Structure 1
């Protein structure tokens, strides 16, 4: 959920502070007031979740000095300056220093509200972007996004940690929707290049000439960026849909790789989507380039091979969508759990995300079932499921684990409440939680 934006009001006149605060509060903003720039600076750090409205003329540190301090701490912090009548030159200077905009006394409250709306919107974009960058550079956060405890997922996580520490180029392949780009981010984040540049280019998104220019240059000043090879220098360059490279582009990329030597100055992670099409990346690339890129290789497991991870993922996703839409997450019946486990999932995790969102929307309307969504996605699926291909015991245990997990989450780890809802004695619940690797501390 988006963080609520604050508005810091800085003015030495109490009446002015209060009137601005009251007006903005009526518009739905969370305000805080300061009688001096010095007091405000004790609170307004580089990650302040909001904007600043400040008078220019104040005793002690004036508004211009205050603005320069704020810009030194965080040049992306929107600051709206309040000027007296006839102080337009000072307002222009404030804009040059970095102010978001200015208000001239006596100001129109509606204009102030409009400026506050635009400034808080700009600040939210900056804060969201910073949060995303932190998340994508935090290996532990990214590893937590790789949800699942199935054997294939445990091996994948081990491979990411091992290969992340290595320095060779990496090839990631697997079916569409398995999370290859997320794994590329994780490889970068857990390795020695974590603090360096991470540049991602989709080879399928450009015509050959434009792709050549984006990867190798030359880039013109008006393009506003370096060629990807230069931009990623010392860090990681991710090439999605590597199989889309023409023979000419493959030869040029191989030449760049050979020039770098060993260890490579820039690590290249190539992502291929060819596996499900009956061809492999090895078929699409010249052999010398393929073997340079596939020095290290990760093949992502399809969702249908991940067993009860499917139910864990569905639960987490439906909870997230339920929170977003302000409703309860749908309850999964035993038959629906079996259907989720047996579905072919050609779209893998991406398809599961879609099903989870539609299930929440359906539940909010009070109509439809998870089974009906699966049937609409898989027309060849039978409405009554069998356990062909897997022992019944596996489906029962997967459903039982999901049921206990969901109930523990709903009751925030209250053992008594879970025992009561599931009609289980304490010892039986403890044994089942131990069996499924569920710990009460994870739900409190």
Structure 2
């Protein structure tokens, strides 16, 4: 979603529409104006990427009727109402119906700008949350988030599609930052329970008594126990290794009482166990074998080869768009350093470094190498990647360079040939070698 949001201005007085529009445009807003509520409804729909400023007193459909229509269409849409002198009771009624705020004429333009900024921030958060909820319920979108062409990622996607169709409980293991929660959401979204609830809780975030009440009830706040809320859907237990012995016993009883196939599917995520121990050591044996009938191991980033460069490029581009600046250009030396780094924090660490690299690039200082060095020093001793032949580093960098250039020029072969000084036949051969297709960039 674009970071610039619209302000729809609705007023039957042309001078008022124009003055509000000009002032907000000078403040950096993208404005559009309507002379009536009827016209505005033709251009404003649910998920409108912006906010509405409307007069209350208008011929035809007045502001109150307009507000009620907007709220029935999208109750999360911020609407700022403009009232005349003495219309405060009407403004209060508008707030009750769902207006974001109101301004009384004559109003201070700076106050209008302040309200518009707060309203657009609220709108952006609402739309971002909606987009996230859609993504978490859309299996195809979630699978696309599992970026990478390495054999381990191909296998992970295949496992998700296979196990997603099953009813058995699933155990997800892997190092911190490898995307285990994303995999859990994907397992639910690609399976037959996708339209049912996906309920998640961290077993490490609560005391034993609190967790017991939240899972099995009775909860002090009167909320439904999570095992009831998830009935028929999926219950995701993050940090399952943190469950006490007594709660493990209650969970095992729940599983045994459900029968086969289980009414509620349980996806258990292990986020940390001792290096010399397995999850089997952390859970009682009977529970482990019930939960671990099917297992998925999320691969560490250091085992994913050139996926590292692909991920770094994608993350850098996203942050560059968010911050309104250019993404850093990765040199051959930096590409090798990214491939050789131990990545103890896995994908989460890579995302953090990509964001910091973009911020550094915006200031015109620093390097990716310095960020990697600082991160590795802070994290202490870590496993290192095995060395690779020079040819593999060269090919990984070459693929990244062509991919980035194609993306930047939106698939223009001529522009890529010019920038990389490559004849068309050579470029075609290299794209075929690396599995790059022009239609993916247009």
| TM-score normalised to structure 2 length | 0.90
Equivalent position to 2:392, from 388, 391, 394: 394
Pick the aligned partner of 1:271 from 248, 269, 272: 269
Q: Which residue of 1 aligns with 2:417?
A: 419
Deviations 1:337-369 (A, max 9, x none): 333223222222122223333434444455544
- 2:381 maps to none
- Please state how far the C-alpha of 1:189 moved relative to its aligned partner: 1.8
Bigger shift: residues 105-114 or 194-203 = 105-114
Identify the residue that residue 187 of structure 2 maps to in structure 1.
Answer: 187
Which deviates more, 99-108 or 286-295?
99-108
Secondary structure of residue in 1 paired with 2:181? helix
Aligned match of 1:44:
44
Assess if the C-alpha contact under 8 Å between 1:6 and 1:32 holds in 2. yes
Q: For 1:191, what is the secondary structure of its paired residue?
A: coil
Is 2:264 the counterpart of 1:247? no
1:316-327 pair list within 5 angstroms: 316-327=314-325
**CA distance, structure 2, for counterparts of residue 91 and residue 85 of structure 1:** 11
* Cα separation, 2, equivalents of 1:28 and 1:157: 43
| RMSD of aligned residue pairs (Cα, Å) | 2.6
Residue in 1 that maps onto 2:96: 96
Relative distance call for 1:276 and 1:318 in structure 2 (3 A) is: farther
Query: What residue is the counterpart of 1:293 in the other structure?
Result: 291
- Aligned residue pairs total 437
Tell me the distance in 1 between the aligned counterparts of 2:245 and 2:286. Answer: 12
SS at match of 2:43: coil
1:115-130 alignment runs, 5 A limit? 115-130=115-130
Q: Distance in 1 between matches of 2:363 and 2:284?
A: 53
Structure 1: 5+ residue runs without aligned partners?
381-385
| 1:260 correspondence with 2:258 | yes
The question of whether the paired residues in 2 share the 8 Å contact of 1:172 and 1:271 is answered with yes
Secondary structure of the 1:9 match is: strand
Quote the Cα distance in structure 1 between the aligned partners of 2:167 and 2:342. 36
Contact 2:161 2:190 in 1 (8 A): yes
C-alpha distance in 2 between matches for 1:61 and 1:93: 17
Residue in 1 aligned with 2:230? 232
CA contact (8 A) 1:184 1:269 kept: yes
User: Structure 2: how far apart are the matches of 1:79 and 1:379?
Assistant: 50
1:370-427 CA distances to partner (integer Å, 9 max, x unpaired)?
34443444469xxxxx997544433332222223222322333232333334343322
- CA shift, 1:181, in A, is 0.9
| Distance in 2, Cα, partners of 1:11 & 1:99 | 16
Match of 2:156 in 1: 156
8 Å contact kept, 1:21–1:31? yes
1:383 alignment counterpart: none
Looking at structure 1, the residues matched to 314 and 335 of structure 2 have their Cα atoms a distance apart, in angstroms, of 14
Match of 2:210 in 1: 210
Conserved 8 A contact 1:175-1:275: no
Q: How does 1:369-388 map to 2 (within 5 A)?
A: 369-378=367-376
Measured after TM superposition, the shift of residue 130 of structure 1 is: 0.8
How far off is 1:327 after superposition?
4.0
Do the aligned partners of 2:202 and 2:237 also contact (CA within 8 Å) in 1?
Answer: yes
* Residue of structure 2 equivalent to 1:345: 343
Residues 55-82 of structure 1 deviation map (CA, whole Å, 9 limit, x = unaligned) = 2232222222222221111112222223
Q: Contact conserved, 1:234 with 1:265, CA < 8 A, in 2?
A: yes
Instruction: Report the Cα distance in structure 1 between the residues aligned to 2:356 and 2:31, rounded to whole angstroms.
Output: 38
Q: Give, in angstroms, the shift of residue 183 of structure 1.
A: 0.9
Q: Distance in 1 between matches of 2:322 and 2:67?
A: 37
Change over 3 Å in CA distance of 1:324–1:17 after alignment to 2: closer
Give yes or no for contact 1:318–1:356 (8 Å, CA) kept in 2: yes
Asked if the contact 2:342/2:385 (under 8 Å) is kept, the reply is no
Per-residue displacement from partner, 1:304-350 (whole Å, max 9, x unpaired)? 21122122222222333333444443333434333322322222212
Question: Retained in 1: the 8 A contact 2:241–2:273?
Answer: no
- Indicate yes or no: 2:34 matched with 1:16: no
Secondary structure of 1:277's partner?
coil
Say which is worse superposed, 65-74 or 240-249, in terms of deviation.
65-74
Does 85-94 or 40-49 show the bigger shift?
85-94
Q: Over residues 102-144 of structure 1, what are the superposed CA-to-partner deviations in whole Å (9 max), with x where a residue is unaligned? A: 3333334343333323322222221111111112222222111
Alignment CA distance shift 1:269-1:399 (3 Å): same
Distance 1:431 1:442 in 2: 17
Deviations 1:166-201 (A, max 9, x none): 222111101111111111121122222223322221
Structure 1 residues 416 and 142, CA gap change in structure 2 (3 angstroms): same
Q: Distance in 1 between matches of 2:327 and 2:106?
A: 51
